[in-house]
Structure 1
Amino acid sequence: MVKRRTAIDSDNDQDDRLGSPSDAKRSRLNVTEIEGQVELGNDQSSKLKGKGKARDDSDILNDIRVDDDDDIAAIRDTHAEDDEGAQERFEEEHEESIRESIRQRNKHQGGVAKFGIIEAIEMHQFMCHKYLTFKFGPQINFIIGHNGSGKSAVLTAITVALGGKATSTGRGNGLKAFIREGQPAAEVSIHLKNQGEEAYKHDLYGHSIVITRRFTKEGASSYKIKSKDGKLISTKREELSAICDHMNIQVDNPMNVLTQDAARQFLSSSHPSDKYKFFLRGTQLSQLSEEYETCLENISQTSKVLLRKKEAIPDLQVHYKEVLTRFEEASKAREQRHKADELKKELAWAHVAAKQEEVTEKATEVHKLEQRIPKIQRSLEEVDGKFTAATAAVEVHEREHENLGNIDHLIEKKRTLGETMRANRAKLSDLKTDERSISENLTSTKKAIQGLESRMEAERARVAAYSQSKQDELSQRLQQAAVDVQATETNLKEAEALVREKQEEAKTLQEQGDRVDREIHNARNSVMGLHEQIQRCIEQRNNTLAPYGRDLKNVLERIGKMRWHGQKPLGPLGVYVKVKDHTWASLLRNVIGAHMASFVVTDGRDLPVLKRLLKESGNPNTNVFVSEVDLFNYRSGEPEPQYPTILRAIDVSDDFVLRILINQAKIERTLLAPTRKAADELLSGITAGGQCLTADLWRVQRWGDGGGQSQPIPPLRAGDPRNLLFTGQDAETQLQYWQGQSAAAEANIRTLTSQLSELRDRFTQPNARRKIEPYDPNQFHLALLVLHVSKRQCRDFRRQLAELRAARDSLQTEANDSVLVEVSGLDEALRDMITEKESLMAQYKSIAEQKAVIDQAQAPLLKELNDVKKQIEAFDGRRQEAQAQVAHAAEQRLAAQHEQQHWSKKLLEEEKKVGDAKEQLNINWTAEAEQYCARVHNPRKVQVVQRNLESVQAALKEREKRQGASVEEMAVEVNKARAALETAQKDLKSMASLNRALKQSLRLRLEKWHDFRRHIAFRCKVVFQYHLSNRGYFGKVLFNHHDGTLQLRVQTDDLNGTQGGNRDKDPRSLSGGEKSFATICLLLAMWESIGSPIRCLDEFDVFMDAVNRRISMKMMIDTANSSDGKQYILITPQNMQNIHVGPTVRVHRMSDPERGQGTLAGGSSVA
């Protein structure tokens, strides 16, 4: 059979299609189903010209003729009636020539195909083969082996490798069924010959094309198409289809690869129509039929469309006549339009006359305008002078401001003086405390002196009453008094020593206690903050938004569902910010951390709604910025590239968020440095000064005039949620870190509490010699209380000692029977108290002197401090004055600049006015009017001509209103209607002509198709009979193309002329050997009409006896030898004994089934 590409040159390329249920639709193409064709007669229509006159439109429509169903049915019936007679005539004419060609072909030795045949095949884990490979001969290949050796797997591998369907092999429902048991994937490779002039892309593939298909248990399948050298060329299924199409390999055609099941179906189908469909599929006539049917359907659809278009032409003709009639009626208004045109011409020259009058006025105006320009220029020159002077003044004041220098030395001196004065004030405070203590002691001494004086007076009065009987008692009391005095003196010394000791210890412990107390307080706050931080880390494990606030996931969901006046709010901003270098993380948490939890809205009306939403979720302090989406250029605000800034230390994934941070935190100009010293050095290299933040938490500011300041940045407290920002760690790692910090802080609290208790114990430990009053161990400042108690005890001891001494002296006097002795003792005690009073007075005086010295030292310090403050204030005043002068000069310069711009703009405006006026003078109105029309002499005034023109135009509009359109519009409408009509007629004629040509082409193709079918069927009959005769059988193939049936009749040699009845057998009544032989004969007859270079047949001789098998094998070998460019692959379970094979035959013997064999050693070839 002729290949599809050459037989149907004008058809579109389509994929090869196998037989389907639609094959049973008909056995031949029904030519007479072409209906509704549109034919056009000679094109005698002429274009509508002038006023639309043309010959009668009915003549044009008569040129268009549509075939009716009877006409097309007649074509169908004629072909059907002639079909049987034509078949008989064809057989009579060509039978002898076909038989002669068969005889001649048997004498001819066929050539080897140069492309399209299989050179070799490889199978990996395919069906029962672990690995199998061998090479095919170019003509005849027999694959022999015992049952179960995997012979049929070769045909299955060929089908699979060339892209065939798994179901067509009859061995499985899918590719997964072909994978060797227990293996995940299988692979099949086939080598196709690719030589000669018609080779497929020989420059790309070379002499061979290697196609590899791999498929897995999961259902995946892939192709690799390689060149002879192993270079991968393509992996697309389309490339494989193109290769098979070019080489005419029809892998799914059951006639090319005939399996056992297909062979049995081919011969033993129960119904003749099934045999006929098998015949059409094998010869590809059914595919041609289906494609022709598609063409027929398209032609029919086109015919229906053309009929609808033809029905629309009368409406277009009616519309054209209507608009043409309206146009003719509107043409009557042309006289009025001519009058209007004449009035327009007169109006043009009336305008010329009016403009000539205006020229004189414009000349005067130009003269006046030209006189104003010099005045404006003088004003501009004056303003330029002011601007220059103001600029110079600004420069002078700026230099004065720069020359002021700085006052860092004064600030340092002020700090030193302040520290010295604070130290002196601390000394004064201590002296005042001692002074108060001495004053209290002095008061107690004075009271004791007064008591002694009173007792002396009483003793003198009591002397007379004493008797001798009291002497013994007085003696005992005197001894006891001496003991008491001695003991009291000892206690007083101990108490005074304890006071001095406690004073020193209290001062030291006061400082230590305050420090430890502050550390405990800070540590407790830190622990509370760390617990909060741990809780946030726990939340962060399930919610990445935890560092930015409470319940933000729900907030964002509600934001997404709500409607907003502007864009949807954006935030939190920290989601879009990442730190590049974690060296700056601690600093950036402190500086821009507050902005990370912020949100942004683009419409101010959304601000209260979002604030309320945040407040409801527990985030009342979250900042919300209002800003339009302005992606401005911020590069001008950045320093040189060598200076690190906050912007350069972070990555911001959203451009809008970046602009928000620039506006709110000035991240593009805030510099960064590792230390305070490095910040000073960095800013010293920038003339304009600036601000720099350091990694050790300092804010360093320098101004352009040389001044500056440095301030520490307070570190974040432990519980601050900003500590979770910019960590570069996951939530679990942070949780472990903060838990460790919390444990360390709690341990620190325990250590500090122990230290505080130790300090209290050291100070409040009872004296070994005297028990101090009970104390409260929980009172932090107990040291001061003990010191106060000790001082009070000293005063009591002194008073008690004085009293005891007085009592002792009194008893001594009494014991000596002398009244004066008692008084003398009191007098001695009085003298002691006076001596103590003088000592206290001396101490008080010494303290007063020390205070005087300190006060005297404070006075010059205070004066010097006041002088420094005045110098600083004076410098600040001068600097402010200089700044004010610079600002004033800048304002004057700005005012001069504005005035300069004003006069420059004024000058440009006046010059433009002059230019416009001159341009009006230079306009040649006469030339323009002459271009419009000839001169109209003595035109009337513009107003008069305008009124007449308006009157005529109003009349025209009234007529147009009645007509519904203007004359111009109706002319356009006429042209459009005429163009639409002509276009429709032209398109209808051209499409009808095209459809007629397509119908004629299809008719010719159908005739060729019938010729193909007739020739193939008859050749099949003759060749079938020829092959049966080799066994001495007679048979015939009965084709009924009209009914779509194929019947076989075979007469075997067991029937002879003596038997009566019909000697022809139905295939179902044949024996197994006869049936297999008949199958081979019919298959060889069919192969005569197939163009594919490959023929494959599986176990064709399984039911044959030795005689039938020998004759069949010889017949197939002879047929293959006489065929040009054909390759045969035949599978048989029998051996090749008693079979004569030639050099063109290659026999491949497969090993017995072992299910684990390796490479097949190419089989054995028998020559």
Structure 2
Amino acid sequence: MKKQKSDSFSVFGNHIAHLQELIKANLDRFTEPPIGPVGKYVTLPKEFMRFAVAIEVALKGTLRCYLVVNGQDKELLDDLKRQARCQPREAEIIIAQRCGFRYQNLEVPGGDLAAHAMCNVLNVKNDDVFNALIDVCSLESKLLFDDREVAERNVLNGPSGHFRMVQFVSEVYLPNGDKFVVREGNLAYIANKVSRRRSIICEDVESEIRGLEQHFDARQRDLQGLRLQESQLRAESTDLHLYATQEKDRVDNLSRRYHRQCTELHSLEEEFSDQQQEHTLDTTVLEGEISDVQEDLASLEARGLELRKCIAAANQDLNGPLDELEDVNAEENKIAAELNDPQRDANETYKQLTKMKSIEIMSQRQVEASQALAEQLNQHLRSIQEDRERQEKNALRLCTRPANILPRNAYEKRVKQVEHQLASAHQRLNGLSLSELKNDMELKEIKYKTKKANYDKFRQNLLQIRSMLAERKETWDRFRAAVSRRTANEFSEYMRHGDFAGKLKFRHSNECLEITVLQNEKGATSASQMTDMKELSGGERSYTQVALLLALGKITECPFRIMDEFDVFMDSVNRDMTIQLLVEAAKNESKKQFIFVTPNNLSILQQDPMVKVQTMDPPRDRERNSNAQ
């Protein structure tokens, strides 16, 4: 930006300043000095500075272009661009003619919209630059608005789907670079994807530098905050690393203790197994203890025998209560058996009651269903009666009640016929209902009106084209008649040089040409006129053809005229006369080049600076010269 502030060309590219120096050094090689960059001659007033983005989007890359007058200057400027090492998209070239004055009577929208046209907003210092922007970018048809709704209200006409722009308006731009256009009756809104504002139009480098400095300071503050966060995260990372080290040491201590305990447990297991083996093998020591235990067991058995005897004596005393207890249990079982029969009866009764209750519920449900069905049938009957009454009213409205009522099967047959006709019509209409048919008819009416409007428009255009065609054909007929008269006059003039009287008659309706030739001899009458070219001699016919070709060439704007072997069938008199006629005709039209090819001698021609004769060597001489070489 600071470089752009000191160098006014840096905004257009890094190599434009060098290119300008090369252009100044080679100005004498250009047909007209190149004009550029175009943006140097275009400025935007301060009151319209908000439209800078929109204008640069509309002009695209035209502000970086150079203007030349022809292809030769373009090639020279391309060479200078290569020397300045410009990029392919840098300093593009536009060939534009220079008229020396600014275009007038531009096709600008009328009324208040003219003030919104870009050509009336921008200040263009150079008239040729203004004309180039009009030709390339169509500035007069691009409008600028602050608000989209206001723009649509002032620019658009017609309903949605049939939008039309106001006359002489092609695009409408908003301050942020967005635009909208109308394509085939639809409104297309195109958003600007390039958000950064360039300073080619506004040339406000100071504000951009301040904005960039503020942006840089904000980024610096963000960087400092990020660095502070980084230091905090580094401190937390150090603490976490220390904590992880401590935890690792603690886990290592626990692992060592675990392994030590496992080792001690293994040693204790080995010691215990050794002790078991010692006790199992050394049984001789316990033999005395075994004998003592056996004596104790014998005494315990004797004591148990005595206890059994005492228990048997006690059991004899308990036999009476036990028998009574068994009798009570038997009585209890008998009473329980007697109680089971009433319980079974009660269960059977409960089952029957449950069954009857379910039957009652089912019957009630059937009654409710029958009542609902009866109500439904009554409603259906009422609807049928209403339908019958309505149909009867419709029938009475259409016709009177028949005196003779036909049998039912006759009406059923007629109903079937009508239903068949309805089914056929329904199938023919693709199953559309009456409402759908009405909607379809409305759509067809809209399409018909649209087609009719287009037809009327095309018919009006056709009638206008026919009138224009008739007018042009009438003009063309006048031109054709004038050209025919001029050709006939020129033909008569050329024939007069050969002592002939000639006349041409153009039969445009039959697409034929009649040639009448009369020799200027004493005593010649109209009977000596010849209208058939076959009646003329070879020389006369060739002379007549040459005169006709000269007359046709006189009205044809062609810079070259070539005739090959025009004097082949002429005698010497007609040949000399024809050659003199051709030379005089060529000299009279000095701005055109005539080439005549003939195998005959041209020694009769006198030296003339406007006539150049090139004679080829005979074939033998050409072969001899080629062999010699």
Q: Tell me the TM-score normalized by structure 2.
A: 0.36
Q: Tell me the TM-score normalized by structure 1.
A: 0.20
Larger RCO: Structure 1 or Structure 2 (Cα < 8 Å, ≥ 6 residues apart)?
1
